[in-house]
Amino acid sequence: MPPSAIELSYDTSKTKTAATHLEGREDHDLVLRTFRVLLADLVQQYNGGHPGGAMGMAAIGVALWAYTMKYSPENPSWFNRDRFVLSNGHTCLFQYAFLHLTGYQHMTMDQLKTYHSSSWDSFCPGHPEIEHEGIEVTTGPLGQGIANAVGLAMATKHLAATYNKPKYEIVNNTTWCMTGDACLQEGVALEAISLAGHWKLNNLVLIFDNNNVTCDGSADVANTENIKAKMAASGWNVLEILDGSNDIEGIVAALNTAKASKDKPTFINCHTIIGIGSAVAGDAKAHGAAFGEEDVKSIHKKFGFESEERFNVPDKVYDFFQRVSLPRGRKLVSEWEELKAEYCEEYPDDGAELLSRISGDLPNNWEEFIPKSFPESATASRKSAGLVCNPLAQNIASFMVGTADLSPSVYMNWPGKVDFQSPDLRTTCGINGNYGGRYIHYGIREHAMAAIANGLATFNRGTIIPVTSSFFMFYLVSYAAPGVRMGALQELQVIHVATHDSIGTGEDGPTHQPIELASLYRAMPNLLYIRPCDSEETAGAFKVALQAKHNSTIISTSRQNLPQYKESKRDAVKYGAYVFREREDAEVTMIGTGAEMCFAVEAAEELEKFGIKVRIVSFPCQRLFELQSREYRRAILQSKRAVAVVVEAYAANGWERYANASISMKTFGKSLPGKEAYKYFGFNSVVIAEKVKLYLEDLKHEKIWKDEFIEL
Amino acid sequence: MPPSAIELSYDTSKTKTAATHLEGREDHDLVLRTFRVLLADLVQQYNGGHPGGAMGMAAIGVALWAYTMKYSPENPSWFNRDRFVLSNGHTCLFQYAFLHLTGYQHMTMDQLKTYHSSSWDSFCPGHPEIEHEGIEVTTGPLGQGIANAVGLAMATKHLAATYNKPKYEIVNNTTWCMTGDACLQEGVALEAISLAGHWKLNNLVLIFDNNNVTCDGSADVANTENIKAKMAASGWNVLEILDGSNDIEGIVAALNTAKASKDKPTFINCHTIIGIGSAVAGDAKAHGAAFGEEDVKSIHKKFGFESEERFNVPDKVYDFFQRVSLPRGRKLVSEWEELKAEYCEEYPDDGAELLSRISGDLPNNWEEFIPKSFPESATASRKSAGLVCNPLAQNIASFMVGTADLSPSVYMNWPGKVDFQSPDLRTTCGINGNYGGRYIHYGIREHAMAAIANGLATFNRGTIIPVTSSFFMFYLVSYAAPGVRMGALQELQVIHVATHDSIGTGEDGPTHQPIELASLYRAMPNLLYIRPCDSEETAGAFKVALQAKHNSTIISTSRQNLPQYKESKRDAVKYGAYVFREREDAEVTMIGTGAEMCFAVEAAEELEKFGIKVRIVSFPCQRLFELQSREYRRAILQSKRAVAVVVEAYAANGWERYANASISMKTFGKSLPGKEAYKYFGFNSVVIAEKVKLYLEDLKHEKIWKDEFIEL
């Protein structure tokens, strides 16, 4: 039970007591025994995997899948289903086994047996993957699942506030998240937990598989904090289950209590025994390895499965789950379909919008919201991003735009924007909002921002388009990188607006000036890293990002003002690179990108003064360029005829594919005003032209070979 | 005052009450006023910077520099000085101004005035930078300073436990860390806070500048948790100062109370007013911009500096600080030098070792501890790393080796290792340790691990060599990346042993298989990313890492067994790449690296069967190779004669500089047993040889150009 100092918030009329009689309770013992033996067998067959946590969590799974969660195995994508997130993703067999037992059709016993096999088309990879039915989100990197769950619970709150009407609770699902000791130590989870408490997400339940064991042994080798007091301090209800390995009725009661929470998320501290029933029960050895033949036999015996037969699931166990899961699921779905139909009749506009969002489509006229033209005066591309994104966000209900505490710097707020907040939040400075709001203050929590955005995106592909924003360097990128990666891995459409890119950031100095980060994102599969050079290309970048339904995108923008070019073309951004200025018999191609386009253009003009013929290519996105035909790429680069010199204030790594030489950064940056920082590092058209001229001479005299990439 | 539920731990005989009379208290008012006006002036002159936080914190600074901290302005590197960390690094003027006022010789008024100027040799960059006197650690990326401070406090605990003797407290300094609202929201800080409580670092004091303002406005827009209860739950003492902007005496009393803590770190919740005295006091507008001429005039007036003169510091104020700071500092240093001399006489062995460590040197015979040879049987390079590092760690007192909860996987523990733990920790499974221990269980906190390691390294360069370890993918790298970057930026010697690199990691699947991360680290300045191909090269990698006093190093190793090569050379690793097998008139150079060296070697043998002559290059480190002469590089690559094909199971980005084509990864990985994962993605000598053969034919027929980099 929670410490008395903690104030709980429940609607007691909705809670059930632990004494509730559960139908089927006479089967619990058999169900738990079967589950545990099955897990031991599955890990034993290929002698690898994670059995212990899943075995310890069995009773929690029974409480969830047999008694609590809303789902339909025959309709795994039902919109209003409860969402289940396994943040401790290494225990994936837990989820796979319950999907199998409750009747998810693809999850046959043969499929279950592919865990850790060499089968190329397994639905049972070593961590849950979103592309498989019944899996809501890919997990594995610890702690991120908790942040994803916060995003999923926000999505429900937001959609409910937007579309529910009296008598029509069209969206009212709950998000259930499992966590182990590890996730609760990770910073990303701690950030997200703080936000969930702040947002009063009473539809979120975090179930702690508290087995007090991590890889290094007892969890208290590295962790002795008071987790219950910490969760309470973060604004959560705290419940406790002392025998989490067996007390199904107690867990069901706690889950129901959690669902009745009025205005707090709920944390259930379930004490369990890792690898229960094995010779290494309660020990770190039960975590990540098979038990060995001998122990598996002993587990069989202990749990009353005397025969040598492996993977034995009595019919009674299937029946226990499926006599409930299948008909209940059908009923839930058909009642909801009926409700939806009535809703659409009574509220045709809202209904049409909701249906379109459920289908994942943008409104047909989305492109009209992008300005046709932009001011001709010099404009920082972070402002350009605002000019493009604000009207999109204002007019398209799917947009949920947030920032890690940099609203004044990132230009992502639009006139009349409403914050996503609990409506009863009272701030000292009077900022208010409600759950229908679409502007998100993430606080100074970049990693959680990216991971929560993934949760928003994964609620139902396309229903919500999350836009995150912060400085490129340490705010968005380095801190948020694991979250950005997980979005790309899951092919989630998330748009990250990264401002203050390159050394142009200025006085904030080398901690804030990215040098190496573009190399990371250009190498990251499924991720479009786009550096537009002006407003027009920024418009093109957003067009690409909105049409790329299976990519995450980073739109990388400048702090400082940039010239606007007549040559820039929004519709060419999608090719990754295009000719900015053609020149017959050119000797050099100057490649420019983003904020440093100006140096490429000016240096070209300087070079022409020396009688050197120069063409100019704008190169906003390497990954998009790689998707073009060889003919297109050859035409743009003309490598047989002209040598190419790229100008970018980042590490050159990766540009070698497109250029013979670079004007780039070899060190970290420096705290100087932006213009001075550029000058300090040689980004100056006269200096660049001089270097390129020398380079051409060295090439002529074979002091340098054309295929030796040179950082000038 | 702390909530009654919180149990405080102090040695009351050492605490002083708030009523203590402070010498010089009659000057406090003038000092505070002068400081605030000076800050407003400094930010105004170039119309940029962060004035508000520093102005609000003035009283805290006076309490620290005038009454509490042990330091000597004339001996800024004195070994036993207190360490001060400004985690909210954007308020750097706070620190610069106190360095000036207390008499640090380099920090002249002229220097102070270079803040935000275009001066290339300023000591006052936009965030504190370690290379300047009086600055202990570079901060800026929020939250990391707190983790650095934890590392600094650990270093003290460890050195004290190792070298202090009865009557000889040779190391007993305190670490003071300032934090704002932002740092306390960042995951890395939350991870480190939990560890500091666990380790009972009673020599660490975290002072919270609680002005309740962030960039987006009132901090409670995104944060409404109970920070005091949260800190207490994490094992900290909690003190509170209601008027933190003015109550110097109260703050001094709290700082003294904190110093008397028996077995907990202390958190002091200081309520302050951002930008106090300005027209925007208490508002987010006071955070990151100059106040404007008019407001600066009004600030002058309000604080009694009526004249138009800027940067006015009355002599009385200098006198207030320096009549104390200079003589006290001299006395502290001379007493300590005396103590050290006596110590060295009474304990000559310990004394010699300590002196050597203070000088930052390794023992002369360090190289002897590296095994001369290794088993010839196939060995996972993570095991090789253990074979090399364990005897070094066992024999060299400077090594402090830790892992983020992966002891069984990373092979970094040595026979008889003792854990760094509070000696009164009682774990449920009986693991014990003490502060003299040199093996660190960081828990599942990769980001804090990297940032704490930076703190250990920065206590005194070379005194402690921190080794961190975890999986390359999400454990070490992506989560820890910001910490690794900050280590590289500060040129700290930190060795990161990253295991389970590449898709050979296997069943754990794409969330655990790095694809793009090497691109990040190869592009990161000052960072050596080394992938050894066998034990011999692993020995070479450690040699490089130990001699690279101004670089951080990642040694990237395999989960799976790797063949051991007769051709591999430990002393060639320092060149970055070297010829593994020469071949006259070779048509192709196969480049191999790390765990995929075997594919390069085997494919070369397959190609020879087709009559194609192949030479082989081993390429453990791109950055080291770039440091070699052009002649050396040309000799290794022979690009005029042979085309080069690199084999690596990562994204190819960056290899274009050295190769014409690659066998590499174009997508994320897949959950399969390691060998099967390689096969699935075409890493198989027959397949590779076939592809290279076709590639050579395409080149001959000019279907492909040699300078078009091709991912085969």
A152, A162, A357, A366 from A396: Cα distances, Å: 20, 13, 10, 7
What domains are defined for chain B? 25-328 (3.40.50.970), 366-562 (3.40.50.970), 574-711 (3.40.50.920)
Q: Hey, of A403, A424, A520, which one would you mutate to test binding to chain B, going by the most B CBs within 10 A of its CB?
A: A520
pLDDT tens-digit profile of B136-157?
999 988 999 999 999 999 999 9
A707:B707 CB<8 A = yes
Distance of CA A272 to the CA centre of its chain: 29
pLDDT tens-digit profile of B521-539?
999 999 999 999 999 999 9
For residue A673, pLDDT over 60 is answered with: yes
pLDDT tens-digit profile of B601-631?
999 999 999 999 999 999 999 999 999 999 9
A127:B671 CB<8 A = yes
What is the reported pLDDT for B486? 87
For residue B1, pLDDT over 70 is answered with: no
For residue A11, pLDDT over 90 is answered with: no
Q: Which of the residues A129, A186, A191, A446 is marked catalytic?
A: A446
For residue B2, name the pLDDT band (cuts at 50, 70, 90).
very low
What is the reported pLDDT for A191? 95
Beginning with the edge strand found earlier in the chain, give each strand of the sheet holding B614-618 in spatial order: B578-581, B614-618, B588-592, B643-647, B661-663, B710-711
For residue A621, pLDDT over 70 is answered with: yes
Mean pLDDT of A416-424: 93
CA nearest A482 in B: which residue?
A: B478
**Cα torsion for A149, A150, A153, A154, to the nearest 10°?**
-140
**Can you spell out the DSSP letters for B55-117?**
HHTHHHHHIIIIII----TT-TT-TTPPEEEESSGGGHHHHHHHHHHHT-TT--HHHHTTTTS
B211 is in an annotated binding site: yes
What is the reported pLDDT for A364? 93
Average pLDDT over chain B, rounded to an integer: 93
CA nearest A644 in B: which residue?
A: B707
Mean pLDDT of A635-645: 88
For residue A163, pLDDT over 50 is answered with: yes
Give the nearest partner residue to B218 out of A5, A49, A431, using CB atoms.
Answer: A431
pLDDT tens-digit profile of A263-275?
999 999 999 999 9
For residue A306, pLDDT over 90 is answered with: no
Higher pLDDT, B430 or B52: B52
**Over the Cα atoms of chain B, what is R_g?**
28
Lowest mean pLDDT among A474-483, B97-106, B108-117, B198-207: A474-483
Contacts of A641 in chain B (CB under 8 A): none
pLDDT tens-digit profile of B355-402?
999 999 999 999 999 999 999 999 999 999 999 999 999 999 999 999
What is the reported pLDDT for B477? 55
For residue B474, name the pLDDT band (cuts at 50, 70, 90).
low
Percent of chain A with pLDDT over 70: 96
Lowest mean pLDDT among A73-77, A305-309, A420-424, B681-685: A305-309
Mean pLDDT of A162-178: 97
pLDDT tens-digit profile of B260-305?
999 999 999 999 999 999 999 999 999 999 999 999 999 999 999 9
Note if B446 is an active site residue.
yes
For residue A215, pLDDT over 90 is answered with: no
A190, A386, A453, A634 from A484: Cα distances, Å: 18, 21, 9, 32
Distance of CA B60 to the CA centre of its chain: 26
Q: Which of the residues B136, B186, B249, B446 is marked catalytic?
A: B446
A409 is in an annotated binding site: yes
Contacts of B705 in chain A (CB under 8 A): 639-640
Residue at B675: amino acid letter = K
A406:B181 CB<8 A = no
Higher pLDDT, B20 or A247: A247
What is the reported pLDDT for A20? 55
Q: How far off is chain B from A407, nearest CA to CA, in Å? A: 6
Higher pLDDT, A560 or A638: A560
Cβ neighbours around B223 below 10 Å, total: 25
Lowest mean pLDDT among A190-199, A583-592, B7-16, B621-630: B7-16
Q: Which helix (H) or strand (E) holds B413?
A: none
pLDDT tens-digit profile of B625-680?
999 999 999 999 987 788 999 999 999 999 999 999 999 999 999 999 999 999 99
CA nearest A674 in B: which residue?
A: B118
For residue B475, pLDDT over 60 is answered with: no
CA nearest B653 in A: which residue?
A: A654
The single-letter DSSP state of residue B236 is -
Lowest mean pLDDT among A627-631, A695-699, B205-209, B495-499: B495-499
For residue B430, name the pLDDT band (cuts at 50, 70, 90).
low
Average pLDDT over chain A, rounded to an integer: 93
What is the reported pLDDT for A12? 66
Higher pLDDT, A576 or A639: A576
For residue A17, name the pLDDT band (cuts at 50, 70, 90).
very low
Residue A23 sits at the vertex; the CA angle it makes with A18 and A29, to the nearest 5 degrees, is 80
CA distance A26 to A31: 10
Lowest mean pLDDT among A188-202, A378-392, B418-432: B418-432
What is the reported pLDDT for B7? 62
Q: Hey, of B476, B492, B516, B522, which one would you mutate to test binding to chain A, going by the most A CBs within 10 A of its CB?
A: B516
Mean pLDDT of B505-528: 93
Q: How far off is chain A from B694, nearest CA to CA, in Å? A: 17
**What ipTM is given for this predicted complex?**
0.91
